[in-house]
A and B are shown apart, each in its own frame.
Chain A
Amino acid sequence: MSELTLTVMRLGFLAVLWLFVIVAVQVIRSDLFGTKVTQRAARRAESGQRPPQQRQQAAPAPQRQQNRQRRGAPSKLVVTEGSLTGTTVALQGQTITLGRAHDSTIVLDDDYASSRHARIYPDRDGQWIVEDLGSTNGTYLDRARLTTPTPIPPGAPIRIGKTVIELRK
Chain B
Amino acid sequence: MSSVSNTTTISSVGAPNRRNTELLMLLFAVAIPVLAYANVGLAKNGSVPAGMLGYGLGLGLIAGVAHVMVRKFAPYADPLMLPIATLLNGLGLVLIYRLDLEPSITTKALGGPRAPGQLMWSALAVALFVAVLVFLKDHRILQRYTYISGVAALLLLVAPMFFPAVNGSKLWIIIPGLGSIQPGEFAKIILAIFFSGYLMVKRDALALASRRFMGLYLPRGRDLGPILVIWALSMMILVVETDLGSTLLYFGLFVVMLYVATERTSWIVFGLLLAAGGATVVGLTSPHVKVRVDQWLNPFAGIAQHGATEAAQVMWSFGSGGVLGSGLGQGYSRLIGGIGVKSDYILATVGEELGLCGLMAILLLYGLLVERGVRTALAARDPFGKLLAIGLSSAMALQVFVVAGGVTGLIPLTGMTMPFLAQGGSSVVANWALVAILLRISDTARRPAPAPASSPDAEPTQVVRL
Contacts from A to B (Cβ < 8 Å)? 1, 5-7, 9-14, 16-18, 20-21, 23-25, 27-28, 30-31, 34-37, 40, 83-84, 86-90, 92, 94, 96, 105-107, 109
Contacts and interface: CB of A to CB of B under 8 A. Distances in A.
Given A14-B325, A14-B357, A94-B460, A30 B83 contact: no
A105 B5 CA distance: 10
Given A27-B21, A107-B5, 11 more contacts: A6-B43, A9-B38, A10-B328, A13-B39, A20-B25, A24-B83, A27-B18, A34-B13, A36-B9, A89-B4, A90-B463
18 contacts: A6-B327, A10-B324, A13-B354, A14-B325, A16-B32, A16-B35, A17-B361, A27-B18, A27-B25, A27-B80, A34-B12, A34-B14, A35-B11, A35-B12, A36-B1, A87-B464, A90-B463, A90-B465
B36 A13 contact: yes
A143 B202 CA distance: 42
Please name the 6 residue pairs, one residue from A and one from B, whose CB atoms are nearest each other, closest first.
A10-B327, A109-B6, A34-B13, A17-B361, A90-B465, A1-B46
B25 A23 contact: yes
Interface string B403-445: 0000000000000000000000000000000000000000000
B32 A31 contact: no
A28 B372 contact: yes
Contacts of A23: 25, 28
Contacts of A89: 4, 463-464
B46 A14 contact: no
Nearest to B8: A37
B327 A7 contact: yes
Interface in B284-333: 324-328, 330
Contacts of B461: 105
B10 A36 contact: yes
Contacts of B327: 6-7, 9-10, 13
Nearest to B368: A24
B152 to A, nearest CB: 34
Interface of B: 1, 4-6, 8-14, 18, 21, 25, 28-29, 31-32, 35-36, 38-39, 42-43, 46, 79-80, 83-84, 87, 324-328, 330, 354-355, 357-358, 361-362, 364-365, 368, 371-372, 375, 460-461, 463-466
A35 B13 CA distance: 6
B32 A9 contact: no
Contacts of B5: 107
Given A10-B328, A30-B12, A21 B361 contact: yes
A5 B42 contact: yes
A87 B80 contact: no
Contacts of B1: 36, 40, 86-88
Contact of A36 (B11, B36, B42): B11
Given A1-B43, A6-B327, A9-B327, A17 B11 contact: no
Given A1-B43, A18-B361, A88-B466, A31 B375 contact: yes
B324 A27 contact: no
Given A36-B1, A37-B10, A24 B80 contact: yes
Contact of B324 (A6, A9, A11, A24): A11
A89 to B, nearest CB: 5
A14 B368 contact: no
A92 B365 CA distance: 50
Contacts of A40: 1
Nearest to A13: B39
B372 to A, nearest CB: 7
Given A1-B42, A13-B328, A14-B357, A24 B84 contact: yes
Interface-central residue, B13, B330, B365, by most chain A CB under 10 Å: B13
Contacts of B25: 20, 23-24, 27
